[in-house]
Chain A
Amino acid sequence: MSLRISTAPHMHNPLTTQRLMQYVFIALLPTAAVGVYAFGFPALAVLLISMATAVLCEFLWQKIAKQPVRINDFSALVTGLILGLNLPSTAPWWMAMIGSAFAILIVKQLFGGLGDNFLNPALAARAVLLASWPVHMTASAYVNPTYFQAGVDAVATATPLASKSASIVQLLLGQVPGTIGEVCKAAILAGFLFLVITGTISWRIPVIMTGSVFLFTLLIGGVTPEAALIATLSGGVLFGAVFMATDYVTSPITPWGQVIYACGAGLIIVLIRQFGSYPEGVTYGILLMNIATPLIDRFLPRKIYGYKKEAKKA
Chain B
Amino acid sequence: MLTKTFKRGIHPLHNMHEGKGPTRDLPVREYVSDSVVISMAMNIGAPAKPCVKKGDHVDIGQVIGEAQGFMSVPVHASVSGEVVSVDSIPSLGAGNVQAVTIKNDFADTWVELHPLGSVERVDPKAVIPAIQAAGITGMGGASFPTHVKLTFREGATCDTIVVNGAECETHLTADYRLMLEHSTRIVDGLRAVMRALNVKKGIIGIEDNKKEAIEAMAKAASGREGVSVQALKTKYPQGGEKQLIEAITGRQVPSGGLPIDAHVVVLNVGTCAAIADAIIDGKPLISRICTVTGCVRNPANLLLRIGTITEDIIGTCGGYSETPGKVVFGGMMTGICIPNDQMPIMKSTNGIVVLNERQSHSKDESPCIHCGRCVQACPIGLNPYQIKVAADKSDFAAAEKLHVMDCILCGSCAYQCPSRRWLTPSFKFCKDHITAEAKARAAAKKQPPSGAAARNASAPKDSDSMGKQSAGHAGSSEGGANK
Contact = CB atoms under 8 A, between A and B. Distances in A.
Contacts of A20: 369, 371, 418
A5 B481 CA distance: 7
Given A7-B469, A15-B418, A2 B483 contact: yes
A116 B392 CA distance: 15
B466 interface: no
A81 to B, nearest CB: 17
Contacts of B338: 3
B326 A6 contact: yes
A272 to B, nearest CB: 26
A297 to B, nearest CB: 8
A312 interface: no
Nearest to B342: A1
B403 to A, nearest CB: 6
B62 interface: no
B332 A10 contact: yes
Interface stretch (B131-139, B279-287, B374-382): B374-382
Q: Is the interface of A mostly helix, strand, loop or mixed?
A: loop
B319 interface: no
B193 interface: no
B333 A9 contact: yes
Contacts of A9: 332-334, 411, 414-415, 424
B55 interface: no
B415 to A, nearest CB: 5
A1 B335 CA distance: 20
Interface stretch (B43-51, B70-78, B359-367): B359-367
A306 B480 contact: no
A26 to B, nearest CB: 16
A174 to B, nearest CB: 30
A305 B246 contact: yes
A70 B362 CA distance: 18
**Residue with the greatest number of chain B CB neighbours at <10 A, chosen from A4, A9, A11, A308:** A9
B451 interface: no
Interface stretch (B24-32, B209-217, B253-261): B253-261
Contacts of A3: 324-327, 337-341
A7 B430 CA distance: 14
A304 B380 contact: yes
Interface string B292-329: 00000000000000000000000000000000111110
Q: Which bracket fits the contact residues of A?
A: 35 or more
A299 to B, nearest CB: 12
B310 to A, nearest CB: 10
A249 B369 contact: yes
A253 B416 CA distance: 14
Contacts of B362: 6
Given A3-B339, A3-B341, A13 B416 contact: yes
A8 B326 contact: no
A41 interface: no
Contacts of A4: 325-326, 337, 360-361, 480-483
A178 B376 CA distance: 37
A199 to B, nearest CB: 9
B406 interface: yes
Contacts of A140: none
Interface residues of B, number: 74
Given A4-B480, A306-B255, A253 B424 contact: no
B479 interface: yes
B473 A6 contact: yes
A303 B379 CA distance: 11
Contacts of B368: 115
B355 interface: yes
Nearest to B409: A8
B370 A249 contact: yes
B333 A8 contact: yes
Given A13-B415, A73-B366, A8 B334 contact: yes
A306 B327 contact: no
A305 B12 contact: no
Contacts of A254: 372, 375
B419 interface: yes
A272 B242 CA distance: 49
Contacts of B231: none
A253 B370 contact: yes
A19 B419 CA distance: 10
A30 interface: no
Contacts of A11: 12-13, 170, 332-333, 359, 415
B101 interface: no
Given A11-B170, A115-B367, A306 B411 contact: no
A114 interface: yes
A10 B326 contact: yes
A137 B403 CA distance: 48
B418 A304 contact: no
Contacts of B482: 4-6
A199 B363 CA distance: 22
Contacts of B334: 8-9
B97 to A, nearest CB: 18
Contacts of B184: none
B176 interface: no
B419 A6 contact: no
A305 B326 contact: no
Given A4-B480, A13-B12, A305 B406 contact: yes
A8 B416 contact: no
B353 interface: yes
Interface in A238-285: 248-249, 253-254
Contacts of B147: none
A254 B377 CA distance: 11
A305 B419 contact: no
B336 interface: yes
Given A248-B371, A304-B382, A70 B337 contact: no
B383 interface: yes
B252 interface: yes
Interface in A5-43: 5-13, 15-17, 19-20
Contact of B255 (A5, A10, A114, A307): A307
Contacts of A5: 326, 337, 339, 473, 479, 482
25 contacts: A3-B337, A4-B325, A4-B361, A4-B482, A5-B326, A5-B482, A6-B473, A6-B479, A7-B473, A8-B333, A8-B409, A8-B411, A9-B415, A11-B170, A12-B417, A13-B12, A13-B417, A16-B420, A19-B418, A75-B369, A297-B383, A304-B381, A306-B242, A306-B253, A308-B254
Q: List the 10 closest pairs (A to B, CB-CB), nearest first.
A: A9-B411, A253-B372, A306-B255, A115-B367, A7-B425, A6-B480, A248-B371, A305-B380, A5-B337, A304-B381
Interface of B: 7, 10, 12-13, 170, 242, 246, 252-257, 324-328, 330, 332-341, 353, 355, 359-363, 366-373, 375, 379-383, 385, 403, 406, 409, 411, 414-420, 422, 424-425, 428, 469, 473-474, 479-483
Given A5-B337, A5-B479, A306-B253, 19 more contacts: A3-B338, A3-B340, A5-B473, A6-B425, A7-B424, A9-B333, A10-B333, A10-B337, A11-B415, A13-B415, A20-B418, A114-B366, A248-B370, A248-B372, A253-B370, A305-B255, A305-B380, A306-B256, A308-B254
